[in-house]
């Protein structure tokens, strides 16, 4: 398949030889145009903003019938099946290859793209469901590089792949929900995607209202503070034309049969989310050093977002603190609380969102 198509590109920063290329992977149903408010800020931040469309979204190719059949088969497979787990692992590896192929294509098309050593490099941001792709990419990048060196396969047209480890300097996991990191939601956690009382069309609207809301979970994130009812919303800030341009319901499907919905279920049922997080965050102490271990991770969670995202931030902080105390080998991983932000921070507060992606520290 051809690489993902680029939908948004602010272009090289005029006069700069050390700009950062910010590549944003969109989420579930809300796709690349939702990042358009970042574009006017690019040059002032010495950043080039690039947002592709994942497969099955407007502008990019659709998944093949073979891939859809594989996904449907695995969704019916027992979670206890070792063969199904191996196949599900291969699905995650293929999603990582999609990111790899897009970045290779970008570097090939832009030979003057600043590298990490130049002070620029690539910062890969996975937003919401896009965290699955970004995490998988970091988890499997060394393996993909090795296999590509042997075969020069996939979408690369037989040409030698560029050394992406000399470009990618940070992966940002932006407001992913708990399940995308391998954590179970606490009992009673609501999601419109699971609400069987709603018709397909009603779920779409309920999902948009859910992710677009602002919630008051409190200073200390805990089960006793979780808020289910939004007190404000990002949605009135979009015109009907903007909302139509930013959303695509095909990957959900009329009855939840779309490719994205299938990926979410597959990752959860077969334990792929936890596996890819483990591989992405933690390092084998005696493993061969390839350069990829120098890529840092920044988890940005929004404290007025939907509850599963706030819960993910809390659980990751706890997990990483315990891992450090135990002396577990890991790459540089930061967890940053984005105060006052909801799931649509890049739309409502784009300047702060850019700073959250590019900055350091435990608060954004």
Q: Report the mean per-residue pLDDT for the chain.
A: 93
Average pLDDT in the 287-305 region?
Answer: 90
pLDDT for 158 equals 54
* pLDDT higher than 70, residue 9: yes
* pLDDT higher than 80, residue 286: no
The whole-angstrom separation of Cα 78 and Cα 87 is 12
Note down the domain range covering 48: 5-185+239-358
Tell me whether residue 51 is in a domain.
yes
pLDDT for 145 equals 79
Query: What are 53's strand-pairing partners?
Result: 5
Give 249-256's long-range contacts (Cβ < 8 A, gap of 24+).
Answer: 249/29, 249/204, 250/56, 250/57, 251/28, 251/29, 251/54, 251/56, 251/57, 252/28, 252/29, 252/203, 252/204, 253/200, 254/200, 255/200, 256/193, 256/200
* pLDDT higher than 70, residue 165: yes
Higher pLDDT: 57 or 191? It is: 57
* pLDDT higher than 90, residue 160: no
What is the Cα 48 distance to its own chain's centre?
Answer: 18
* pLDDT higher than 60, residue 363: yes
* pLDDT higher than 60, residue 150: no
Tell me whether residue 285 is in a domain.
yes
Tell me whether residue 28 is in a domain.
yes
Closest among 227, 301, 260 to 133, alpha carbons compared: 260
> On the CB side of 3, how many CA atoms lie within 13 Å of its CA?
22
Class of residue 149 by CB neighbours under 10 A (exposed 0-12, middle 13-18, buried 19+): exposed
* pLDDT higher than 70, residue 149: no
Q: Where does the pLDDT of residue 132 fall: very low under 50, low under 70, confident under 90, or very high at 90 and above?
A: very high
Tell me whether residue 49 is in a domain.
yes
**Percent share of the chain, pLDDT over 90:** 82
The whole-angstrom separation of Cα 81 and Cα 61 is 31
pLDDT for 201 equals 83
Tell me whether residue 208 is in a domain.
no
* pLDDT higher than 70, residue 288: no
Higher pLDDT: 228 or 28? It is: 28
pLDDT for 154 equals 47
Are the C-beta atoms of 183 and 311 separated by less than 8 Å? yes
Average pLDDT in the 255-264 region?
Answer: 91
Q: Where does the pLDDT of residue 159 fall: very low under 50, low under 70, confident under 90, or very high at 90 and above?
A: low
The whole-angstrom separation of Cα 25 and Cα 128 is 9
pLDDT for 153 equals 47
**Residues, the chain:** 364
Domain count, the chain: 1
Tell me whether residue 252 is in a domain.
yes
Question: Is residue 122 within a helix (H) or strand (E), and if so which, with residue range?
Answer: strand 121-127
* pLDDT higher than 80, residue 147: no
CATH number at residue 346: 3.40.50.1820
The whole-angstrom separation of Cα 109 and Cα 98 is 17
Distances in Å between the Cα of 330 and the Cα atoms of 147, 289, 295, 333 are: 24, 13, 11, 8
53-107 pLDDT, tens per residue?
999 999 999 999 999 999 999 999 999 999 999 999 999 999 999 999 999 999 9
Tell me whether residue 277 is in a domain.
yes
Tell me whether residue 198 is in a domain.
no
* pLDDT higher than 50, residue 308: yes
């Amino acid at each position: 398949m051809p690489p993902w198509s680029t939908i948004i590109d602010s272009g090289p920063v005029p006069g700069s030889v050390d700009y950062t290329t910010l590549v944003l992977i969109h989420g579930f149903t809300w796709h690349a145009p939702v990042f358009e408010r970042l574009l006017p800020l690019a040059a002032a931040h010495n950043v080039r903003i690039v947002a592709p469309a994942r497969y099955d979204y407007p502008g990019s190719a659709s998944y093949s019938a073979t891939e859809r059949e594989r996904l449907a088969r695995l969704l019916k497979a027992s979670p206890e099946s070792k063969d199904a787990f191996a196949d599900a692992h291969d699905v995650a590896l293929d999603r990582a290859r999609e990111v790899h192929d897009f970045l290779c294509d970008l570097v090939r098309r832009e030979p003057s793209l600043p590298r990490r050593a130049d002070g620029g490099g690539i910062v890969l941001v996975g937003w919401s469901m896009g965290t699955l792709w970004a995490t998988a990419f970091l988890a499997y990048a060394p393996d993909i590089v090795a296999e590509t060196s042997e075969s020069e396969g996939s979408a690369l047209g037989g040409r030698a792949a560029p050394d992406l480890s000399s470009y990618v300097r940070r992966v940002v996991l932006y407001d992913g929900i708990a399940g995308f990191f391998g954590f179970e939601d606490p009992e009673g956690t609501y999601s419109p995607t699971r609400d069987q009382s709603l018709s397909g069309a009603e779920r779409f609207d309920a999902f948009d209202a859910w992710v677009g809301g602002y919630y008051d979970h409190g200073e200390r994130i805990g089960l006793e503070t979780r808020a289910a009812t939004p007190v404000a919303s990002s949605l009135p800030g979009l015109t009907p034309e903007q909302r139509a341009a930013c959303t695509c319901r095909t990957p959900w499907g009329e009855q939840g049969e779309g490719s994205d919905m299938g990926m979410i279920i597959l990752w959860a049922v077969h334990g792929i989310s936890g596996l890819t997080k483990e591989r992405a965050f933690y390092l084998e102490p005696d493993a061969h050093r390839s350069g990829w271990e120098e890529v840092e991770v920044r988890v940005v969670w929004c404290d007025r977002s939907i509850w599963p995202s706030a819960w993910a931030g809390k659980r990751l902080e706890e997990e990483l603190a315990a891992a450090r105390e135990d002396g577990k080998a890991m790459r540089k991983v930061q967890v940053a609380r984005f105060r006052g932000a909801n799931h649509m921070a890049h739309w409502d507060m784009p300047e702060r969102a850019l700073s959250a992606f590019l900055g350091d520290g435990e608060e954004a």
